[in-house]
């Protein structure tokens, strides 16, 4: 019984935390959390412990904790998510010719 209530609460909390995030990225994160909620619960607890014990802000704690779980996080992603993430990380990289003109 509490499983559905807990899932709903986590979803609402996550939506609140991702308020400024673009919709496509928000959907990707929500899908990963739904696929393996225990992993993300473990990550959240470790992030909070890191912030509490070392006085780190959220970003500093994330840069320390998240690399440990990179493999598991990637396993939660669908092939489409992985491709989209790679495109996002590339950004404008590869859109310019060596002479500085824009590639079409």
Stretch 53-77: mean pLDDT: 89
Q: Given this model, what pLDDT does residue 94 score?
A: 57
Stretch 78-97: mean pLDDT: 72
Nearest to 22 by CA among 93, 95, 90, 84: 84
Q: Given this model, what pLDDT does residue 95 score?
A: 64
Nearest to 24 by CA among 75, 69, 87, 70: 87
| Contacts for 82 with CB less than 8 Å, ≥ 6 apart | 74
The percentage of the chain sitting over the pLDDT mark of 70, rounded to a whole number, equals: 82
Residue 98 predicted with pLDDT over 70: no
pTM of the model: 0.69
Q: Phi then psi for 96, rounded to 5 degrees?
A: -120, 145
Mean pLDDT of the chain: 82
């Amino acid at each position: 019984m509490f499983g559905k209530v807990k899932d709903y609460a986590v979803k609402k909390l996550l939506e609140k935390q991702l308020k400024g995030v673009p919709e496509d990225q928000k959907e990707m994160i929500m899908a990963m959390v739904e696929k393996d909620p225990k992993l993300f619960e473990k990550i959240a607890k470790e992030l909070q412990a890191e912030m509490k014990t070392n006085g780190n802000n959220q970003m500093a704690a994330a840069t320390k904790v998240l690399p440990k779980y990179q493999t598991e996080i990637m396993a939660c992603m669908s092939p489409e998510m992985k491709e989209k993430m790679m495109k996002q990380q590339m950004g404008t990289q590869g859109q310019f010719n060596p002479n500085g003109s824009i590639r079409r």
